[in-house]
Each structure stands twice: as C-alpha cells, then as structure tokens.
C-alpha cells in the first residue's frame, strides 16, 4: 500500500484513536497513583506498627519486624523496610522520617521510637565503657577524691549523649566516694550490665604513702 494511502487511512481512524490513546494515558496515570498510594499505605503501616501490632520496638524488635513484613502490600514497601532494618541504628530515624515525608504522611511515631532506641544504645555504650577498669589505667594510683574527678571528666569529654553527661553532673554534685559508686552501679543496672568495675575501683584503698628519705 502506498505511503499516502496509509497516511489517509490513519487520518480516517484519528477520531477513533484519540479517545483510545487518551484512555490509555488516563489508565497509566491512575495506575501510577494507585501504586504511590499503596506504597504510602505501606509506609503508614511501618510508621504505626507499634500501635497496631502491640509490639514495642525496644523490647520486641524481631516480632515487630515480622509483623511489619506480613502487613506490607508492595515489593517497594518491603524493600524500604528491609533497607531501614539493615541500616545502622543511628541512621534509621532520619531515614524513616524522610520516607514518611516523601509519602506525605502527617506523622510517623516509629521515628521517635528509633530515636529513643538509638539514645539508649549510646547510653549503654557510654556506661559500659565508663565501668571498665581498662578505660582508666592507673586509677588506683590516685587519691580517692581524684578518682571521682577523673571519672566525671571522662564522662564530660567522652560521653556521646546528654544522659551520660548528666551522670557526670550528678557525680560532681555528690562527690563522695560512696555516692559516686552508687551512681555508677545504678547506671550499670539501667544499661543492662551485671557489674561495674569502676565502682569497686573508686573505693579501693588509697595508694601507700611514699617513705620520706632518711636524713644523712
């Protein structure tokens, strides 16, 4: 068939093709919007997982993760949650907040839960390091009052979260050995540790006094 004839044939079909093409475009837009809405629903399920499942992130993370994966409806949602779960704990709150904002969600309570969990993790790490006798070599060579001061200075300089630095303030306000020991033992229990070596080190006997040189 000649090219001109083909062109004429297409022109004759144009009134019929235009609505069909238009419907195809509308269908594609609707499909895209439905996919976006479904991904948003998955992110909503992630954000409200604690409330809807009854599981708490900091005590039942594994069960909460299983519940979330069972309630996601899209591969994109499952991939987003797995990526979130595999990230360092410190990065999860910011990542989830970014995803929730992109999906136009008004709120995402799980972001605050991840923030709290990260803060608890930092506190545990601070306390465990402060409780280790290896963190303070030569501590028993110091007078007891200087041991407390050294512990408070370490917490001020090296602690990674406000809660740990507040512990330094408390120790400075009650600088007695017994008080400092109790603060560290309490902090160790809160951090899930069974012992705190530095508490015993603070109360160790002071170093013996050096002998004065004999007169010639």
Tens place of pLDDT per residue across the chain (216 aa):
455 554 455 445 455 444 444 444 444 444 444 445 588 999 999 999 999 999 999 999 999 999 999 999 999 999 999 999 999 999 999 999 999 999 999 999 999 999 999 999 999 999 999 999 899 999 999 988 899 999 999 999 998 888 888 999 999 888 889 999 999 999 999 888 878 999 999 988 876 765 545 555
Do 195 and 149 reside in the same domain of the chain? yes
Do 34 and 99 reside in the same domain of the chain? yes
The whole-angstrom separation of Cα 147 and Cα 199 is: 10
Last residue of a domain, one of 61, 83, 107: 107
CB of 140 within 8 A of CB of 169?
no
Which residues, in sequence order, are CB contacts of 93 under 8 Å at separation 6+?
111, 112, 114, 115, 118
What's the maximum distance between 2 C-alpha atoms anywhere in the chain?
Answer: 129
Q: How far apart are the first and last CA of the chain?
A: 129
Amino acid 25: pLDDT: 46
Do 76 and 141 reside in the same domain of the chain? no
Q: pTM score > 0.75 for this model?
A: no
Amino acid 79: pLDDT: 95
Amino acid 194: pLDDT: 78
Amino acid 98: pLDDT: 96
Do 80 and 151 reside in the same domain of the chain? no
Which residues, in sequence order, are CB contacts of 148 under 8 Å at separation 6+?
171, 175, 176, 177, 180, 202
Residue 68 lies inside a defined structural domain of this protein: yes
Do 167 and 129 reside in the same domain of the chain? yes
Which range of residues forms the domain containing residue 82?
A: 30-107
Do 52 and 124 reside in the same domain of the chain? no
Q: Which candidate, 137, 128, 132, places its Cα nearest to that of 192?
A: 128
Do 97 and 164 reside in the same domain of the chain? no
Do 36 and 89 reside in the same domain of the chain? yes
Last residue of a domain, one of 107, 129, 152: 107
Residue 138's SS3 state is coil
- What tokens does 111 get? 């972001």
Do 137 and 78 reside in the same domain of the chain? no
Amino acid 174: pLDDT: 81
Do 137 and 191 reside in the same domain of the chain? yes
Do 91 and 126 reside in the same domain of the chain? no
Residue 113 lies inside a defined structural domain of this protein: no
Q: How many domains does the chain have?
A: 2
Burial of 155 (0-12, 13-18, 19+ CB in 10 A): buried
DSSP state of 48: T
């Amino acid at each position: 068939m000649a090219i001109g004839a083909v062109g004429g044939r297409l022109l004759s079909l144009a009134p019929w093709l235009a609505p069909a093409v238009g419907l195809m475009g509308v269908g594609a837009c609707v499909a895209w919007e439905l996919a976006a809405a479904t991904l948003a629903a998955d992110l909503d399920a992630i954000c409200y997982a604690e409330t809807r499942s009854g599981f708490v992130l900091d005590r039942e993370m594994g069960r909460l993760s299983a519940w979330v994966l069972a309630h996601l409806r899209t591969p994109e949602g499952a991939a987003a949650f797995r990526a979130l779960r595999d990230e360092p704990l410190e990065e999860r709150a910011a990542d989830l907040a970014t995803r929730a904002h992109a999906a136009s969600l008004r709120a995402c309570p799980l972001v605050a839960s991840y923030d709290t969990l990260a803060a608890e993790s930092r506190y545990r790490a601070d306390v465990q390091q402060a409780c280790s006798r290896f963190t303070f070599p030569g501590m028993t060579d110091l007078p007891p009052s200087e041991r407390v001061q050294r512990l408070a200075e370490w917490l001020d300089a090296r602690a990674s979260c406000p809660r740990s630095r507040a512990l330094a303030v408390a120790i400075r306000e009650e600088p007695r050995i017994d008080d400092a020991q109790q603060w560290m033992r309490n902090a160790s229990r809160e951090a899930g540790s069974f012992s705190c070596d530095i508490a015993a080190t603070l109360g160790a006997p002071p170093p013996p006094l050096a002998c004065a040189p004999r007169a010639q």
